[in-house]
Amino acid sequence: MKRYIKKGTVIALTAAIVATAGQTVAFAATEGDYDSKETYLSLGADLSESEKATVYELLGLKEGEIPEDQIQKVTNDEEHEYLDSYIPSSQIGSRALSSVLVTEAADGKGIDVTTKNIGYCTEGMYENALATAGAKDIDVVVVGPFEISGTAALVGAIKAYSEKTGEKVDEETVDAAIDEMVTTGELKDSITESAQNGEVSDEEIEGMVAWLKEQVANSSDEDLDALIDEGEQKFGVSLTEDEQSQLRELLRKLSSLNLDVKSLKDQAQSIYNKLDDMGIHISSEDANGIIQKIIAMLKGFLNK
pLDDT by 10s per residue, the chain, length 304: 445 444 344 455 555 555 544 433 333 333 344 444 789 999 999 999 999 999 999 999 999 999 998 999 999 899 888 888 887 776 677 889 999 999 999 988 889 999 999 988 889 999 999 999 989 899 999 999 999 888 788 888 888 888 878 888 888 999 999 999 989 989 998 888 776 677 888 899 999 999 999 899 887 677 999 999 999 999 999 999 999 999 999 999 998 888 887 778 777 777 777 777 666 666 545 434 433 333 344 444 444 4
Q: Are residues 134 and 212 in the same domain?
A: no
**Which backbone phi and psi does 229 adopt, to 5 degrees?**
-60, -45
Residue 304: inside a domain: no
Q: Are residues 145 and 32 in the same domain?
A: yes
What gap in Å lies between CA 199 and CA 73, rounded to an integer?
Answer: 39
Q: Are residues 49 and 69 in the same domain?
A: yes
Residue 296: inside a domain: no
Amino acid identity of residue 301, one-letter, is: F
Q: Are residues 55 and 186 in the same domain?
A: no
Q: Are residues 218 and 126 in the same domain?
A: no
Q: Are residues 147 and 103 in the same domain?
A: yes
Q: What is the DSSP letter of 70?
A: G
Residue 206: inside a domain: yes
Q: Are residues 148 and 224 in the same domain?
A: no
Q: Are residues 147 and 34 in the same domain?
A: yes
For 178-214, letters b (16+ CB in 10 Å) and e give: bbbbbbbbbbbebbeeeeebeebbbbbbbbbbbbbbb
Residue 6: inside a domain: no
Q: Are residues 86 and 200 in the same domain?
A: no
Q: Which of 111, 19, 32 is nearest to 66 (CA)?
A: 32
The predicted pLDDT at position 260 comes to 81
What gap in Å lies between CA 165 and CA 209, rounded to an integer?
Answer: 26
Q: Considering Cα of 279, then 124, then 33, then 46, what sign does the dihedral take? A: negative
Residue 103: inside a domain: yes
Contact 186, 149 (CB under 8 A): no
Cβ-in-10-Å burial (0-12, 13-18, 19+) of 168 comes to middle
Of 130, 151, 169, the domain-final residue: 169
Cβ-in-10-Å burial (0-12, 13-18, 19+) of 84 comes to middle
Of 120, 147, 169, the domain-final residue: 169
The predicted pLDDT at position 154 comes to 86
Residue 297: inside a domain: no
Of 169, 184, 207, the domain-final residue: 169
Full domain range(s) for residue 57: 11-169
Q: Are residues 65 and 207 in the same domain?
A: no
Q: Are residues 29 and 78 in the same domain?
A: yes
The predicted pLDDT at position 79 comes to 85
The number of beta carbons lying within 10 Å of the beta carbon of residue 227 is 18
Q: Are residues 23 and 117 in the same domain?
A: yes
Residue 301: inside a domain: no
Residue 238: inside a domain: yes
Number of domains in the chain: 2
